[in-house]
Amino acid sequence: MHYLRGNTVKKKALIAGLSAVAIMASLAACSSDGGGSSNAKPTNCNNKIVNADAPVVSVWAWYPNMAKVVDNFNNDHDDVQVCWTIAGQGADEYAKLQTAVSAGKGAPDVVMLETDQLTGFEIQDALVDISDLGANDVKKNFAEGSWGDVSQGDAVYAVPIDGGPMAMIYRKDIFEKYNITPPTTWEEYETAAQTVKDAGGPWFGNLGSNVPAALTALFQQNGAEPFVYDLADPQKIEINLDTPEVKKVMDYWAGLTEKGLIGTEDQFTTDYIAGVVGGKYGTYVSAAWAPGYLTGAGVGQGDDAGLFAVAPLPQWDTANPVSVNWGGSALAVTSQANDKKLAAKVATGLYADEASLTDGWKTQTIFPLNKDVLTSDAFVDNEVEFFGGQTANKDIYIPAADAYEGTTYSPFSVYYYAQLQAQLVKIAAGDVGGSQAADDLQGIIVKYAQEQGFTVE
Partner 1 sequence: MADTATTLVAKPAAAAKRKRTARERAHSRTGWLFIAPFGVVFVVFLVTPLAYAFYLSLFSKGLATGTAFAGINNYVRAFTDPSFLKGVWFVVRFSVVLIPVQMLVSLAAALVLDNLTNRFARFARLMIFLPYAVPAVIGALMWGFLYSPSFGPLEQIFGSFGLDAPFLLSPDNIFYGLMNVVTWQWAGYYMIIIYAALRGIDPTIYEAAKIDGANAWQVALRIKIPMVRSALVLILVFALIGTLQFFTEPQVLGPVANGTITPDFTPNIYAFNLAFKYAQFNYASAISFSLGAIVFVGVYIFLFVTRKRGSVL
- CA 98, CA 120: separation in Å to the nearest integer? 10
- Give the one residue of 124, 301, 338, 375 binding partner 1; rule: CB under 8 A: 124
- Give the one residue of 49, 50, 297, 425 binding partner 1; rule: CB under 8 A: 425
- CA 285, CA 331: separation in Å to the nearest integer? 26
Binding mask 249-268 for partner 1 (x = CB under 8 A): ---------------xxx--
CB of 13 to partner 1, least distance (A): 5
Work out the number of other CB atoms within 10 angstroms of the CB of residue 50. 16
- CA 381, CA 369: separation in Å to the nearest integer? 16
Query: What's at 60, amino acid-wise?
Result: W
- CA 251, CA 393: separation in Å to the nearest integer? 32
CB of 437 to partner 1, least distance (A): 13
CB 98 within 8 A of CB 46: no
The answer to whether 125 contacts partner 1 (rule: CB under 8 A) is no
The answer to whether 293 contacts partner 1 (rule: CB under 8 A) is no
CB of 449 to partner 1, least distance (A): 8
Q: Which is nearer to partner 1, 16 or 228 (CB)?
A: 16
What burial class does residue 26 get, using C-beta atoms within 10 Å of its C-beta: 0-12 exposed, 13-18 middle, 19+ buried?
exposed
CB of 189 to partner 1, least distance (A): 23
**For residues 9-48, which are near partner 1 according to CB under 8 A?**
9, 12-13, 16-17, 19-20, 23-24, 27
Q: Which is nearer to partner 1, 183 or 275 (CB)?
A: 275
The answer to whether 89 contacts partner 1 (rule: CB under 8 A) is no
**Residue 78 dihedral angles phi and psi, to the nearest 5°:** -95, -25
- CA 250, CA 330: separation in Å to the nearest integer? 29
- CA 244, CA 242: separation in Å to the nearest integer? 7
CB of 105 to partner 1, least distance (A): 15
Q: Which is nearer to partner 1, 295 or 413 (CB)?
A: 413
The torsion angle over the Cα atoms of residues 187, 271, 430 and 211, rounded to 10 degrees, is -60
Is residue 111 classed as helix, strand or coil in its secondary structure? strand
User: E strand or H helix at 34, and its extent?
Assistant: helix 2-35
- Give the one residue of 55, 75, 79, 95 binding partner 1; rule: CB under 8 A: 95
Q: Which is nearer to partner 1, 233 or 377 (CB)?
A: 233
Work out the number of other CB atoms within 10 angstroms of the CB of residue 359. 17
Count residues binding partner 1 (CB under 8 A): 49
Instruction: Extract the runs of DSSP E, i.e. beta strands, from 196-342.
Output: 205-206, 227-229, 236-239, 262-263, 283-287, 308-312, 329-333
Q: Which is nearer to partner 1, 112 or 342 (CB)?
A: 112
The torsion angle over the Cα atoms of residues 96, 97, 101 and 102, rounded to 10 degrees, is -30
The answer to whether 411 contacts partner 1 (rule: CB under 8 A) is yes
The answer to whether 310 contacts partner 1 (rule: CB under 8 A) is no
Choices 196-204, 208-216, 220-228, 302-310; region in contact with partner 1 by CB under 8 A: 208-216
Q: Which is nearer to partner 1, 42 or 411 (CB)?
A: 411
- Within 104-226, residue ranges assigned H as helices are 115-122, 135-138, 144-150, 172-177, 186-198, 212-221
- Give the one residue of 7, 32, 46, 452 binding partner 1; rule: CB under 8 A: 452
CB of 455 to partner 1, least distance (A): 8
The answer to whether 362 contacts partner 1 (rule: CB under 8 A) is no
Binding footprint of partner 1 on the chain (CB under 8 A): 6, 9, 12-13, 16-17, 19-20, 23-24, 27, 91, 94-95, 98-99, 101-102, 120, 123-124, 208-210, 234-235, 264-266, 269-271, 274-275, 411-412, 414-415, 418, 421-422, 424-425, 428-429, 451-454
